[in-house]
Amino acid sequence: MTVHTIPVKLITRRGKAPYLEVEVPKGITRVRRMSRPQTIHWRLEHDGSSGHFNKLNDAISPGFLWISPPFPGIFGTPKVTHHGQSIVMEDQYNLEEKIGTWYYRLSATIDGVVYRTLFRSPYPARVRSPRSSHMRAATRSSSTVFALVSGATTSLAPDTATNPTIKNR
């Protein structure tokens, strides 16, 4: 059985909120189609090794959470193992119709503090630029609101952070 082991570490940078980072190129775990199930294994390492992944049924910050759930039958149920140091899940991908990209979030408690992987929407904002000739006075603040929302989104996530992703191909 093929096992994809993925290190997860705590990132702390001056002036930025600490977060968990999945250490694979661009945050994307690429899984090829195989006739047998494969195991995906996330493991806390480095500064995160003193902590543990949260329980999967945690109401606020579950250890593993699908942001974009996959179709039924592609993945098994995630399990927290090794005294909370790991999460394992089976990828049962063997049919072409199960090709896709799925986003997830990991949460772990380290020294009594909950940390999560970051998520930044891969889709562009659905806000159009205002047309000055058709704009009413009451709606002129919409561009200001957009700037505030846009700035808040990018300031929460360091430029190097990417969305944790599983991509079947």
User: CB pairs under 8 A, 24+ apart, for 121-129?
Assistant: 121/153, 122/163, 125/149, 125/150
Greatest mean pLDDT among 1-5, 26-30, 95-99, 130-134 lies in 1-5
Please, what is the average pLDDT of the chain? 75
Domain ranges of the chain: 3-126+162-168
List Cα–Cα distances, 158 to 43, 102, 115, 117, 163, in angstroms: 22, 21, 15, 12, 11
| Residue 9 clears pLDDT 80, i.e. is over it | yes
* Tens digits of residue pLDDT in 115-146: 999 887 666 666 655 554 444 444 333 322 32
Does residue 156 contact residue 17 with C-beta atoms inside 8 Å? yes
What is the average pLDDT across 153-165? 48
Tell which wins on pLDDT, 56 or 37: 56
**Which residues lie closer than 8 Å to 122 by C-beta, 6 or more apart?**
103, 163
Q: What is the pLDDT of residue 57?
A: 96
CATH of the structural domain 3-126+162-168, one choice from 3.40.309.10, 2.60.40.420, 3.30.1050.10, 2.40.128.20: 2.60.40.420
